[in-house]
Amino acid sequence: MLFSVYKLPWITCALPDKNGKTSGRPKFKGKHYYNSFSYPQLSNSHIVKNANGRICINLPKIGLVPFVYNRLIPAGFKVKTGTVIREADEWYISFTIEDKTVPLRRVEIQPTEDNSKGIDLGLLHYAVTSDGEFIEVPKFFRFSEHRLSKLQVRLAKKPKHSHPWKILKGKIAKLHQLIARQRLDWQFKLAYHLFSDCQVIFLEDLQIASLVRRCKAKLGDNGQFLPNGQSAKSGLNKSLQDAATYQFLDILEYVAWKLGKRIITRRPKRYISTLLGMLE
């Protein structure tokens, strides 16, 4: 079964005042906080054609909405739910489809020296394989950082919620969307490339959350904050987030499942010994 992640509108407590108190009535989140809503009762019968012959989705309490039906639902699959998603450029709908006759794929590949490969992820090189291949870091955010900063400076000079302010907000959102899509497309292509000549990939079990964690504050004798290296580490954190290593690991795991292959993660000490054994 294919699942989609969506958000639910919850009530949040009132924001604290200048004294830190949160007393008062609860505050409802505005419409800009929500980017999706779900229909848990959709089915194949909701995909129909209108009078003009255009394919539409019949959403309850909304009606017929034309959409680009670019990916046909495979024969035998049933639509279970649908999630309407608001992106920076357009509205999208994501279907959850199911076919109980499709067996679950369970991979039982035994790693050997011939069908395995070790990969080390980093920032100097995005990936270094055990067979001597070096893959450079794409740095999608770094290349668009100057353009993004110029737009953000212009945004800060506009009156909030004015028409020019909303136009700049849309441009910034579309630029972030472009960066994310470039990174996602490149990572999928890299995952298929890495599995093109092997069946099993060994990876280091990285703790990304620990790598981007802020440095611990240092206090002097008089109670003032001392330099702790966070200003220097902020650039490293930006490069780590631009590399999106955790996202790439999820993509690599999905591609391995789709191709019927396997990935194995190891703790750093065990992984280094395994990688050195493959290089010998």
Task: Answer yes or no: are the C-beta atoms of 204 and 269 closer than 8 Å.
Answer: no
State pTM to two decimals.
Answer: 0.79
Q: Token pair of 53, please?
A: 């012959």
> If you average pLDDT over every residue of the chain, what do you get?
85
Residues ≥6 apart with Cβ < 8 Å to 220: 226
Write out pLDDT tens, residues 137-150.
999 999 999 999 99
Q: How far is CA 144 from CA 102, 172, 174, in A?
A: 43, 11, 12
Which residue numbers in the chain have pLDDT < 50?
Answer: 1-13
pLDDT at 95: 93
Q: How far is CA 125 from CA 252, 263, 272, in A?
A: 17, 20, 17
Write out pLDDT tens, residues 62-101.
999 999 988 889 888 999 999 999 999 899 999 999 998 8
**CA-closest candidate to residue 123, choices 218, 240, 234, 279:** 240
Question: Could you give the angle at which helices 140-156 and 163-194 cross, rounded to 10 degrees?
Answer: 170
pLDDT at 17: 64
